[in-house]
């Protein structure tokens, strides 16, 4: 299978560093619907991996299975493995809450809590009972790293709902990094933002590479090309058993290879804008 070979080729070239996260034979079902089929991916430390592909190809489903967010959907079911530092996070003894503390998430639509800016950032450390010397230092640090501090430092007690969409999304990133996760999952974080706010988030992601492993789902191919180190291309095919739509991983490689010299014709068609 193509995905398998490209994954192996990829691991060979960089295999010296064990990946932070990996999926092996990952299948996700929603009830009877087989959403993604046999995905094998490795996510390397302090890199940005982009998951791209047309709508309905299962890239968000894959992302949400990486920190067990799919557990919240009653009909969702998973086969295969998702490993985090070698441990399968779907083993029965694993607590999804512990998983999510280490693998944070930023969503498509900014979703600040109806609380003050300060309390939004402090929420994670508080619920996880993190040992913090000074909460205000941690909040400042997180907001600085999310490139939002200068804009909100005089209004920390103000409601998060008073911020613009782009500011709210940076607040959500600050909120995610306040708990010092290891991996940050971003589900189309810029799709609700204007180009200027998008540029700010992209700069931020590039900065955050120094500390975090990031995995981003995006519809924007230029964005994937600009910020990611590796890219996985998914597409929606037809299930041979029942003829229903099913998401498949087509190709996974360095971003430059995916965009300039893809192995698969469908990848080339997609990245050059001929379909999708």
Partner 1 sequence: MSTTTRTDRPSVVLVAQSSRWGEKLIQFWLGFCAIASVIITVGIVLALFSPLPEFFSRVDFREFFSTDTWAPALATPSFGVWNIVVGTLNVTMYALIVALPAGLGAAIYLSEFAGRRARKVLKPILEVLEGVPTVAYGIFAFTFVTPLLRDNWPTWLPGDLGDPPGIFSAGAAGIVLGIMIIPTVASIAEDSMSAVPRSLREGAYGLGSTRMQVATKVVVPAALSGIVAGFVLGVSRAIGETMVVLLAAGASPNMTLMPNESVLPMTAFIGRTATGDISAGTDVYFTIFAVGALLFTMTFVMNMISIALVRRFREKYE
Judged by the rule CB under 8 A, the positions of this chain that interact with partner 1 are 67, 69, 72, 74, 97-98, 100-101, 104-107, 109, 111-115, 123-124, 127-128, 161, 172, 175-176, 179
Instruction: Tell the smallest beta-carbon distance from residue 21 to partner 1 (Å).
Output: 16
Closest distance of CB 235 from partner 1, Å: 26
Q: How far is the CB of 237 from partner 1 (least distance, A)?
A: 28
Nearer to partner 1 by C-beta: 30 or 107?
107
By C-beta, is 94 or 225 nearer to partner 1? 94
Determine the Cα–Cα distance for residues 103 and 213; give it in Å rounded to an integer.
9
Q: Nearer Cβ to partner 1, position 66 or 221?
A: 66
Residue 179: closest CA among 97, 116, 256: 97
CB of 124 to partner 1, least distance (A): 4
Between 152 and 186, CB nearer to partner 1: 186
- Shortest distance, CB of residue 218 to partner 1, whole angstroms? 18
74/243 with CB nearer partner 1: 74
């Amino acid at each position: 299978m193509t995905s398998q070979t490209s994954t192996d080729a990829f691991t060979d070239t960089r295999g010296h560093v064990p990946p932070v996260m990996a999926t092996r034979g990952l299948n996700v079902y929603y009830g009877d619907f087989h959403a993604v089929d046999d995905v094998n991916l490795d996510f390397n430390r302090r890199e940005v991996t982009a998951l791209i592909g047309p709508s309905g190809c299962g890239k968000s489903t894959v992302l949400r299975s990486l920190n067990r967010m799919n557990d919240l959907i009653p009909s969702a079911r998973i086969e295969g493995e998702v490993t985090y530092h070698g441990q399968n996070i779907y083993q029965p003894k694993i607590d999804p809450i512990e998983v999510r503390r280490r693998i944070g998430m930023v969503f498509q639509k900014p979703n600040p809590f109806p609380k003050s800016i300060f309390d939004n950032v402090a929420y994670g450390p508080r619920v996880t009972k993190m040992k913090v010397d000074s909460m205000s230092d941690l909040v400042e640090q997180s907001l600085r790293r999310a490139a939002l501090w200068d804009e909100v430092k005089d209004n920390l007690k103000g409601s998060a709902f008073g911020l613009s969409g782009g500011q709210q999304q940076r607040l959500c990133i600050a909120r995610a990094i306040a708990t010092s996760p290891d991996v940050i999952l971003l589900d189309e974080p810029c799709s609700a933002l204007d180009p200027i706010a998008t540029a700010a988030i992209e700069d931020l992601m590039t900065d955050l590479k120094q500390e975090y492993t990031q995995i981003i789902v995006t519809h924007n191919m230029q964005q994937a090309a600009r910020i990611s180190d590796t890219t996985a291309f998914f597409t929606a095919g037809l299930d041979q058993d029942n003829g229903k739509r099913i998401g498949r991983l087509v190709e996974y490689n360095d971003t430059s290879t995916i965009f300039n010299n893809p192995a698969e014709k469908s990848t080339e068609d997609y990245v050059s804008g001929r379909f999708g």
